[in-house]
Chain A
Amino acid sequence: MNVAVLVKLALDTGQLRLSQSAVGVEETPLKISDIDRNAVEEAVKLRGSAGKVASISVLKWPPVGRRVQEAENLLREVLAMGVDEAYLVVDEALIGSDHYMTAKAIAGVVRRIGADMVVAGEATVDGYTAQIPARVAAELGWPYLTYVRELKVDGGRAVARRDLEDRVLVVEADLPLVASVTREINVPRIPTLLAIRAAMKKPIVRLGLGDLGIGEAPRARLAELRPLVVSRRRVIVKEGTVEEKVDKFIDFLIGEGILRGA
Chain B
Amino acid sequence: MRALVSSPEAAVLAREMGLEALGLAWTDEEARRLAGHVGRVYLVRSGSMADALVRLYRDEGFAVAVLPGTREARDAAAYAAQLLGAAFIPDAVNVAMAGDKFRVERLVLGNKAVAVYEAQPPLLLTLGPGSRSVGEGSAGGEVREISVGEDKRVRPLSVEEKPKGAVRLEDAEIIVSVGRGFKRKEDLQLAFHLAEVLGAQVGCSRPIAADLKWLPEEHWVGLSGKKVSPRLYLAVGISGQAQHIAGILNSKYIAAINSDPNAPIFQYVDFGIVDDLYKVLPLLAQRLSERRRGA
Contacts and interface: CB of A to CB of B under 8 A. Distances in A.
Instruction: State yes or no: do A and B come from one complex.
Output: yes
A18 B88 contact: no
A247 B155 contact: no
B118 A237 contact: no
A154 interface: no
Contacts, number: 238
A258 interface: yes
Interface residues of A, number: 82
Interface centre among B81, B119, B161, B268 (most CB of A within 10 A): B81
A13 B109 contact: yes
Given A16-B110, A144-B79, A223 B117 contact: yes
Given A147-B71, A242-B280, A135 B270 contact: no
B120 interface: yes
Interface in A206-224: 216, 218-224
Interface string A168-200: 111111100100001110000000000000000
A245 B76 CA distance: 49
B294 interface: yes
Tell me whether chain B's interface is mostly helix, strand or loop, or mixed: mixed
Contacts of B70: 164-165
B231 A230 contact: no
Contacts of B110: 13-14, 16, 125-126
Given A100-B86, A252-B271, A127 B75 contact: no
A219 B82 contact: no
Given A245-B275, A258-B231, A262-B294, A224 B269 contact: no
B78 interface: yes
Contacts of A95: none
A245 B280 contact: yes
Interface string A218-261: 11111111111010111111100011011101101100101110
B59 interface: no
A138 B82 contact: yes
Interface centre among A128, A164, A183, A218 (most CB of B within 10 A): A128
Nearest to A169: B159
B134 interface: no
Which size bracket describes the interface of B in this complex? 35 or more
B87 A220 contact: yes
A167 B87 CA distance: 29
B283 A242 contact: yes
A134 B82 contact: yes
A98 B87 contact: yes
Contacts of A23: 109, 112-113
Interface string B240-252: 0011001000000
Given A13-B109, A123-B223, A147-B71, 7 more contacts: A13-B242, A100-B82, A125-B242, A219-B87, A228-B111, A242-B280, A256-B270
18 contacts: A127-B108, A128-B223, A128-B246, A129-B88, A131-B81, A133-B78, A138-B79, A138-B82, A144-B75, A182-B224, A184-B210, A216-B85, A221-B117, A221-B118, A225-B114, A232-B254, A233-B270, A249-B271
Interface of A: 11, 13-14, 16, 18, 23, 98-100, 103, 122-123, 125-139, 143-147, 159, 164-174, 177, 182-184, 216, 218-228, 230, 232-238, 242-243, 245-247, 249-250, 252-253, 256, 258-260, 262
